[in-house]
């Protein structure tokens, strides 16, 4: 049995939150290059595997029993220890409303919120959804295997594979796509007061962003930083220096820049 300690409770974990298409992937890659770190992309199945609510992307705090919380900590610690890296960076776009629960599970962790102009962000989301609808079967198979490979270790590859087979989230949308029956709803989805919301309109986007901002105010100010993608594109060195100061200059092993303005703007 692993005894609770600061590492087990997230002391060296950095969670990156942002709406899909807001730049969380490229920012995570940039940060990972500058730190002695492992990068874990979207381990949504770890949070959800023991929950009753697996279809919607806003959790109910009461579902997180002591047993479930401990298992999540064990899984994350397993990934962290196997990486042999000092820091674990976790990209979490599907958990944009769940970070208060994550903070409870990992009280020593740090949060980075990536923001993008709503109009630009929504355009990116719609573009990606439309691309998913038009891609062929071989692309979908390849995309799934890429997601499996991103889990890096056999334990998590198996867990993700079993999760998808058992819960049908992805399979359900593939069925609607190829049978042409029903509306395809890729992307994150929320259930609020028995009403379902998808990030497919400016109205829904603003609603979820408003909820997120309200929750952010409940965090301790030293535990998080908000990064604007547009500001990062305009003045990378200035904006990134704020991130360096937030994490701690002593933790940065280099200043290698893999992002350029063109790549950021494309997001």
CA neighbor of 114 nearest in space, from 98, 91, 136: 91
Q: What is the pLDDT of residue 184?
A: 73
Each residue's pLDDT, cut to its tens digit, for the chain (267 residues) gives 445 678 899 999 999 999 998 999 999 999 999 999 999 999 999 999 888 878 889 999 999 999 999 999 999 999 999 999 999 999 999 999 999 999 999 999 999 999 999 888 988 888 887 887 788 888 888 888 999 999 999 999 999 999 888 877 777 777 788 888 777 777 788 999 889 998 888 999 999 999 999 999 999 999 999 999 999 988 888 999 999 999 999 999 877 776 666 666 565
Q: What is the rounded distance in angstroms from the CA atom of residue 91 to the CA atom of residue 74?
A: 18
- The length of the chain in residues reads 267
Q: What is the rounded distance in angstroms from the CA atom of residue 11 to the CA atom of residue 39?
A: 16
Contact 230, 117 (CB under 8 A): yes
Angle at 30 between CA 201 and CA 204, to 5 degrees: 10
Q: What is the pLDDT of residue 177?
A: 80
Phi, psi of 168 (to 5 degrees): 65, 10
Q: What is the DSSP string of 109-128?
A: -EEEEEE--HHHHHHHHHHH
Q: What is the rounded distance in angstroms from the CA atom of residue 153 to the CA atom of residue 177?
A: 31
Q: What is the pLDDT of residue 260?
A: 65
- Please state, in angstroms and as integers, the Cα–Cα distance from residue 57 to each residue in 12, 51, 52, 82, 155, following that order: 25, 12, 12, 28, 24
Q: What is the DSSP letter of 56?
A: S
Which domains are seen in the chain, by residue range? 13-133+163-266 (3.40.50.300)
Torsion of CA 241, 247, 251, 255, to 10 degrees: -20
Q: What is the pLDDT of residue 71?
A: 95
Q: Report the phi/psi class of residue 56: left, alpha or beta, with left for phi > 0 and alpha for psi in -120 to 50.
A: beta
Contacts of 102 by beta carbon, 8 Å cutoff, 6+ apart: 15, 92, 95, 109
Contact 37, 110 (CB under 8 A): no
Q: What is the three-class DSSP state of 226?
A: strand
Report the relative pairing of strands 87-91 and 37-41 from DSSP bridges. Answer: parallel
Tell me how far the alpha carbon of residue 108 is from its chain's centroid. 18
Q: Which residue has the tokens 């890296």?
A: 85
Q: What is the pLDDT of residue 264?
A: 62
Q: What is the pLDDT of residue 262?
A: 61
Q: With a threshold of 0.75, does the pTM exceed it?
A: yes
């Amino acid at each position: 049995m692993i005894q609770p300690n600061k590492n087990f409770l997230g002391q060296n974990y950095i969670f990156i939150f942002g709406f899909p298409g807001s730049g969380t992937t490229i920012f995570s890659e940039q940060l990972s290059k500058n730190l002695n770190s492992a990068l874990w992309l979207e381990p949504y199945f770890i949070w959800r595997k023991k929950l009753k609510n697996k279809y919607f992307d806003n959790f109910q705090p009461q579902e997180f029993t002591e047993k479930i919380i401990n298992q999540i900590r064990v899984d994350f610690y397993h990934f962290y220890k196997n990486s042999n890296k000092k820091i674990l960076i976790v990209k979490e776009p599907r958990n944009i409303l769940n970070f208060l629960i994550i903070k409870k599970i990992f009280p020593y962790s740090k949060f980075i919120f990536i923001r993008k102009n709503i109009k630009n962000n929504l355009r990116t989301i719609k573009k990606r959804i439309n691309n998913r609808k038009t891609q062929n079967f071989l692309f979908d198979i390849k995309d799934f295997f890429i997601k499996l490979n991103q889990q890096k270790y056999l334990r998590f590859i198996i867990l993700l594979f079993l999760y998808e087979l058992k819960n049908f989230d992805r399979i359900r949308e593939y069925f609607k796509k190829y049978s042409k029956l029903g509306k395809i709803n890729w992307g994150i989805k929320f259930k609020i007061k028995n009403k379902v919301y998808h990030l497919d309109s400016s109205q829904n986007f603003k609603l979820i962003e408003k909820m997120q901002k309200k929750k952010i105010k409940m965090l301790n100010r030293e535990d998080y930083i908000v990064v604007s993608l547009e500001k990062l594109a305009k003045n990378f060195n200035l904006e990134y220096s704020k991130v360096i100061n937030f994490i701690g200059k002593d933790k940065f092993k280099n200043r290698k820049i893999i992002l350029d303005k063109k790549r950021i703007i494309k997001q």
